Structure 1
């Protein structure tokens, strides 16, 4: 059957990462049947099954897991080599993949990306926004952007902006006639808009005052998994929400929301761009980092 080709390996990688032949085919610009044939050819060449397929799902076999784990860094290094080889006269080219939370990607789009694409119009920028924290190396990303507390300890981290804080906010209509909470324990007298984390757990609200940390498992009849939706629910008068300040800023300015427990809402380290410290930094990522530092 011959040795696997780079096309075979990239096809497998796309299906394995997206767990979908349809999604991978759309992103690669090929037909689903063609992609399926390519992956089956790879399996025959390797003499092992890499994917479990059903009519509804795609999952990795043990062999597929091992191959993907080794393949991602190798293909990443290959992309870097090709990027460097194709660069001429100092021109930055290639593909830059960054994974981050929705808030992080939005911040990049507002403040960094327009300038970056103006300066480096030969770079293909691939930004992926998702709530769950992923292994950027395993998933084939050059860098990630998350809150500092979520950045893995073995990564190089660079600040993106300054400190941020979470604010407890509610609409004036909701608070009308109700006691304003002055300490976190008084949230028990209110409806709170709870947040479900990407892990599936409910987020316990974190407050601090005079060095005292307080975690509150707030009451509430509604749970959401999006800070933007939580803000909109608060504006609609459905309760008190606890969200990153940038999400609430415009509504606070327009007096559609007000803060409560503001003295209990501490500043925390904000967003950081991070990348592996044991791999060569591709020119496109280096250029992005230099722009961040400016």
Structure 2
């Protein structure tokens, strides 16, 4: 169950989408919302370091942003009857968020922070949180609706344990929002020689059908309405096209899939879908018995 949601804010415009989703999710799941404002600190070389009262802070548009942001979110939460806790800390934003994530069920963090990044880039706070968080992370779309909806969820699977990690949070969200879950597996055609691909795809599609049907059966037993699909194509592009076709309100994927993520999201299917920013994305961490990337 989603009982505690951690919202990371940094005073930037990029945080607004995260605020809207965090409020909507907390309202839908009856969760407590913990709002964490991290004031980034820099050492003399300009590198972000852990909080130290003697360390100069990075320039910000408004030095009072933490108090103003927390007051704004608290007021908006009160309008919805959402219980709120607030914390202000200094340090490296992603490290502080990941530290607090250990006591949360879900993290919500904006796509870009004070640097004004227009895309989800390697090295950003959001990317680092996604890679290191011990719990699922929701990253909003580029243009977030005033009141996000979660009526249609898209769960993407490839048969790996990493991909299956997204099933529990999707189940929880679908139950709370009475949502329909589309269970999709894409048979990625890019690695194959065109001369032999026809002979191979039939077998892969049969395996994929088995994966989505088993998960759909499990979701149905939990009272969740499901739709299953197996499609061919380039995985990231096919997922985005399918999400558009069914009007998915959220796309859920494991942080790692069949090919593994190693130390970077760059180039992975998950990263490509996330970078597009077309829809909110829920990413779930690898199983706890698998090695995690170093911080």
For Structure 1 versus Structure 2, the TM-score category normalised by the shorter chain is under 0.3
**In proportion to residue count, which structure has more helix?**
1
- Larger Rg belongs to: 1
TM-score by length of 2: 0.24
